[in-house]
Amino acid sequence: MHQHLLAIPARANKAVQFGTVANYFNALKRSTKREAPVLDGDFFPYMDNAFNRAPFWTGFYNHRAYFKRFQRIIQREVRLADLLSVATREYPNNDMKMARRNLALSIHHDAITGTSKRRVMDDYSLRLRSALHTTLREQERLLNISDETFTTMLVNVSVKTKGMYLPHRTLSFADGIERYKIQIVNQKAFSTMELIKLNIFSPFVTVTHDGELLTTQVVPLLNEVNLFEFLYNDGSMETNFGFYFNQVADFGGAYTMVSELPFQNINNGNQLPAIVVQGPIYSSIWQQLSPQLAYSITVINSTDDSARSFQIDVFTDVSSMPGHTFFMNLNTSVRSGAYFYTDVNGLYLIERKRDRKMKFEANIYPMVTETMIEDDKLRCTILAAQSTGVTSKRGVLTLMIDREMHNDDGKGLGYYEASESHPSHLKYRIIFESKVSQKNNFNSGRKMVRKKESKNGSLPVNTSTLYHSQLVQQNLEELLYPAALFSSPNTNSTGDSTFCHTNLSLHSFH
């Protein structure tokens, strides 16, 4: 390239030479032009060729959603092992070195994106399974330095298991076991109230903590309810919002999306009646919309800050629907117009704008953990436990959920190499905040540094950075790093109630 530039005629008014970093800054000091343009933002969404059949690289945001979710789970468990190692003052086993390497490998730009061939993705999954097996055993070793033996509630069925299938252990009160001691490990740097769920064979249980009987919830109630319209009121505000799913025909590949609008509703003869659970601890709605999609919405019945969010669980199995991308939509009363925000690697929020002149797939942006819309009175935030893509217009947030692609989009994966989406359990949280009652909190999150604030003759900076509130940060950490559970059977204990033949004791571990 250097030779090519030198060959350009002198009338092009150019001068090209090799130089060092010192040469660059010396030339900058001698320059009479003290201001230089500053690039703000990023390069999403990427487009390689406007005349290509599949020009917009927005499909990989959500491709192979199971792997994106599973990688976050392994990351969480490795982090927990590190915290236990510090708390117990025990050095980690040497096996954890390989577990960390396998986790790091899964963040490769052809792994976490899901854009590798099937056999390569299988190898990535195998390595993550191996890392999970090693990490769970390490957690148990660190907790079992006392006389009691604790077992993790997660079950890694087999290292060769594909997908993110990860069942929880079911507590059985057979073989003389009448009581379990549950160790709850808080991974966060603050005290929190979280919803703890245990799988048990018998509904006749009591739960105690330090000898005090705790309120529990066991039996679900069945009912029919309108699933799609909700009224939210936390005392400081009241708002209505709609919640629904749809799908679109997608002729893209692992990297790209080529949508064929309009959206298709997910409503067929396989839709099951809603299951409503109501109790003293939480209330939830669960429904299977199709063989490919089911979801639940959970609200904690409390005045704690944790109860100010809606917990969303989405269960997908889209392998039987090639050529489709599924979406979750939140229709709010927020007057956000064409503007919305997404996070930059979980650090801060950056403003996005939907361009109505561009195609639908050209308006989808990466969402690592968070997206948000707001107006003068209300802010709505969606948090995700796995990376995905999002777009928005006129108060509606549209998130990519899962997709199954067979096509070759010309970016490196041949026909059928981009497929094999395994069943996924995806997690989200929805948070509404009043900007009137928290005006100071929101204003402190927006920082603008203008040209006149530049110091020491440095290059001018003109950028806007937006941060979320403390409430959102707390919910994000609870979503990414939930409390970990470990069980220890105690066969020598006897129940203290004639009605309940088992007794679970909860003990906090910090």
Average pLDDT over residues 96-103: 95
The identity of residue 505, as a single letter, is: S
Average pLDDT across the chain, whole number? 80
Distance from CA of residue 3 to its chain's centroid?
48
- Predicted local confidence at residue 448, as pLDDT: 42
- Tracing tokens 């032009």 back to the chain, one arrives at 33
Q: How confident is the model at residue 340 (pLDDT cuts 50, 70, 90)?
A: very high
- Tell me which of 356-360, 435-439, 478-482, 503-507 is least confident: 503-507
Closest CA to 180 of 157, 148, 158, 156: 148
Domains and CATH numbers, the chain: 149-271+302-437+463-509 (2.70.98.30)
Cis check: omega of the bond before 489, within 30 degrees of 0: no
Judge contact between 497 and 505, C-beta under 8 A.
no
CA-CA distance, 297 to 302, in Å (whole number)? 16
Give 46's contacts (C-beta < 8 A, 6+ positions apart).
56, 57
Distance from CA of residue 431 to its chain's centroid?
14
- Tell me which of 26-30, 41-45, 131-135, 462-466 is least confident: 462-466
375-433 confidence digits (pLDDT tens): 988 999 999 999 999 999 999 999 999 999 988 888 888 888 887 788 999 999 999 98
- Predicted local confidence at residue 398, as pLDDT: 96
The identity of residue 459, as a single letter, is: L
Give 48's contacts (C-beta < 8 A, 6+ positions apart).
55, 57
Give 350's contacts (C-beta < 8 A, 6+ positions apart).
41, 42, 341, 342, 343, 344, 466
CA-CA distance, 459 to 29, in Å (whole number)? 11
- Predicted local confidence at residue 304, as pLDDT: 72
Q: How confident is the model at residue 287 (pLDDT cuts 50, 70, 90)?
A: confident
- Predicted local confidence at residue 223, as pLDDT: 43
Most confident region among 240-244, 439-443, 448-452 by mean pLDDT: 240-244
Residue 52, pLDDT > 80, answer yes
Judge contact between 379 and 432, C-beta under 8 A.
yes
Judge contact between 124 and 105, C-beta under 8 A.
yes
Q: How confident is the model at residue 305 (pLDDT cuts 50, 70, 90)?
A: low
CA-CA distance, 110 to 114, in Å (whole number)? 6
CA-CA distance, 34 to 190, in Å (whole number)? 47
How many angstroms separate the Cα of 108 from the Cα of each of 19, 68, 100, 135, 165? Answer: 33, 12, 13, 20, 22
- Parallel/antiparallel/unpaired status of strands 179-185 and 502-509: parallel
Concatenating the DSSP letter of every residue in 163-222 gives TT--PBPEE---TT--EEEEEEE--SSS--------EES-S-EEEEETTEEPP-------
CA-CA distance, 315 to 467, in Å (whole number)? 30
- Tell me which of 97-101, 327-331, 373-377, 449-453 is least confident: 449-453
How many angstroms separate the Cα of 117 from the Cα of each of 67, 159, 321, 408, 420? Answer: 13, 20, 19, 12, 10
Residue 506 sits at φ, ψ, to 5 deg, of -105, 130
- Predicted local confidence at residue 105, as pLDDT: 94
Residue 369 or 452, more confident: 369
CA-CA distance, 358 to 488, in Å (whole number)? 57
The CA-based dihedral angle spanning residues 405, 411, 416, 417, taken in that order and rounded to the nearest 10 degrees? -110
Instruction: Decide: residue 352, CB within 10 A, 0-12 exposed, 13-18 middle, 19+ buried.
Output: buried
**DSSP 8-state class, residue 274:** P
- Tell me which of 235-239, 301-305, 481-485 is least confident: 235-239
